[in-house]
Amino acid sequence: MKTTAFTQKHIDLGAKMVEFAGYNMPVEYVGIKDEHMAVRENVGVFDVSHMGEFWVKGPNALKFVQYVTSNDASVLVPGKVQYSCFPNGKGGIVDDLLVYCIDEQTYFLVVNAANIEKDWNHLVAIAPKFDITPGKELYNASDEICQLAIQGPNALKIMQRICDQSVEDMEYYTFKKLNCAGIENAIFSTTGYTGAGGCEVYVANEDAEKLWKGVFEAGAPEGIRPIGLGARDTLRLEMGFCLYGNDIDDTTSPLEAGLGWITKFNDVKGDFIDKDYMLKQKAEGLTRRLCGFEMVDKGIARHGYEVCDAEGNVIGFVTSGTMSPCSGKAIGMAYVAAPLYKADSEIYIKVRNKLLKAVVVKTPFYKK
């Protein structure tokens, strides 16, 4: 099992450790609900060093990124970040990712931990078509970089104390290279996976100790706390954010997953993997779609549970489900057949052979 540069910190702090994406990671410290609310109301720190990072460089970098991703990376300028996905050439998704534009010939791709090898092999197979050499213009830096996500309404105020540039006024999905906790050229971004505001800081593994110490000393007056992956999952689900392997995978198209907003068909974007397939899907209409739902009857939906109509016919399956710490309601996401994926539709979740009523709702489930 792999470790991150912060693994021993979690163990020393008494975190409950579990295997996640091949890494020894903290799932919780004192309890998921408590940690969830700490992030919503104050500030918390996640170790997300298990994420993967690839560099794409050179004169053909943008053309390559445009072809392998669904979004239009040409709109990016240095300092901007974009959410996107890798279509797999078969109508599904290899992975979802973040695209950072460092400059017009340099892009930084952040991918999911469980998919690092799969994503890398996917890109390596396509790179020669764009005169991009793996290990040179395309470089896997995943084992060299650590990352902390500092999330919550007090996160940027705290981080301002250890940054040499203004960060409290940074817009969503932007980044800066700056000195953070005495570490030069840290990548400081404001993307977030919790909906609570905050930032992520990427530094080299050898600077991990300095970053951890700087962040926790800066946040001590506010009672900053380490947070486990359990709360990260409940926080992202309250926002309706997709988790790869649950809500999206190699069998789900971006359009079915409600990711049409990151799937661009304009002339500037040009050709990309699965473009024709998705144009056809868009023209013919979706037969199923990922939607959010709230339970009406008492019960919690879990990943893999069947979704049925009023007559008991199976019309889909649950991808994610939990009890929302903020609303106290049981919520979830599911792929549901047309037309019942539309808001206000009544659906039924099969829980231990009982059909429990739920209603389709628009996400996010949590609104400030």
CATH of the domain at 92: 3.30.70.1400
Asked whether residue 43 falls in the same domain as residue 154, the answer is yes
Asked whether residue 325 falls in the same domain as residue 204, the answer is no
Asked whether residue 37 falls in the same domain as residue 79, the answer is no
Residue 198 has pLDDT above 80, yes or no: yes
Residue 332 has pLDDT above 80, yes or no: yes
Tell me phi and psi for residue 158, to 5 degrees. -65, -45
Give whole-number Cα distances, 42 to 62, 87, 209, 226, in Å: 38, 37, 23, 12
User: Does residue 263 fall inside a structural domain?
Assistant: no
Q: What is the pLDDT of residue 75?
A: 98
Domain boundary among 110, 140, 170: 140
User: Does residue 266 fall inside a structural domain?
Assistant: no
CA-nearest of 192, 47, 188 to 113 is 47
Residue 368 has pLDDT above 80, yes or no: no
Residues 6+ apart with CB under 8 A from 239: 194, 195, 363, 364, 365, 366
The CATH number assigned to the domain holding 352 equals 2.40.30.110
User: Does residue 269 fall inside a structural domain?
Assistant: no
Asked whether residue 301 falls in the same domain as residue 230, the answer is no
Band of residue 367 on the pLDDT scale cut at 50, 70, 90: confident
Give the three-class secondary structure for 346. Answer: strand
Give buried/exposed letters for 313-335 (b at 16+ CB in 10 A, else e).
eebbbbbbbbebbbeeebbbbbb
Give whole-number Cα distances, 257 to 166, 228, 261, 319, in Å: 36, 26, 10, 11
Asked whether residue 124 falls in the same domain as residue 160, the answer is no
Residue 33 has pLDDT above 80, yes or no: yes
> In 60-197, at which residue ranges do the beta strands (DSSP E only) sit?
81-87, 93-103, 106-111, 138-140, 145-151, 175-180, 183-189
CA-nearest of 157, 188, 147, 150 to 45 is 150
Mean pLDDT of the chain: 97
Asked whether residue 83 falls in the same domain as residue 188, the answer is no
Residues 6+ apart with CB under 8 A from 249: 92, 93
Asked whether residue 204 falls in the same domain as residue 88, the answer is no
Dihedral class, residue 273 (left if φ above 0, else alpha if ψ from -120 to 50, else beta): beta
User: Does residue 40 fall inside a structural domain?
Assistant: yes
Residue 130 has pLDDT above 90, yes or no: yes
Give whole-number Cα distances, 224 to 5, 43, 170, 179, 208, in Å: 20, 6, 21, 21, 18
User: Does residue 125 fall inside a structural domain?
Assistant: yes
* Cα(98)–Cα(88) distance, integer angstroms: 17
In the numeric block, the tokens 């992975």 are attached to 95
The CATH number assigned to the domain holding 165 equals 3.30.1360.120
Domain boundary among 172, 203, 238: 238
Dihedral class, residue 212 (left if φ above 0, else alpha if ψ from -120 to 50, else beta): alpha
Q: What are 57's two structure tokens?
A: 């460089």
Asked whether residue 152 falls in the same domain as residue 232, the answer is yes
- 213-221 average pLDDT score: 98
User: Does residue 250 fall inside a structural domain?
Assistant: no
Asked whether residue 12 falls in the same domain as residue 24, the answer is yes
* Cα(69)–Cα(65) distance, integer angstroms: 6
* Cα(250)–Cα(93) distance, integer angstroms: 5
Domain boundary among 96, 116, 140: 140
| Percent of the chain surpassing pLDDT 70 | 100
Asked whether residue 70 falls in the same domain as residue 183, the answer is no
Q: How many residues does the chain have?
A: 368
Number of domains in the chain: 3
Residue 362 has pLDDT above 90, yes or no: yes
Q: What is the pLDDT of residues 131-161, one digit of tens each?
A: 999 999 999 999 999 999 999 999 999 999 9
Asked whether residue 120 falls in the same domain as residue 72, the answer is yes
Asked whether residue 38 falls in the same domain as residue 58, the answer is no
CA-nearest of 362, 358, 357 to 343 is 362
User: Does residue 123 fall inside a structural domain?
Assistant: yes
Question: Domain range for residue 215?
Answer: 7-51+144-238
CA–centroid distance for 194 within its chain: 9
* Cα(280)–Cα(133) distance, integer angstroms: 33
User: Does residue 157 fall inside a structural domain?
Assistant: yes
Q: What is the pLDDT of residues 255-294, one digit of tens each?
A: 999 999 999 999 999 999 999 999 999 999 999 999 999 9
* Cα(73)–Cα(33) distance, integer angstroms: 37
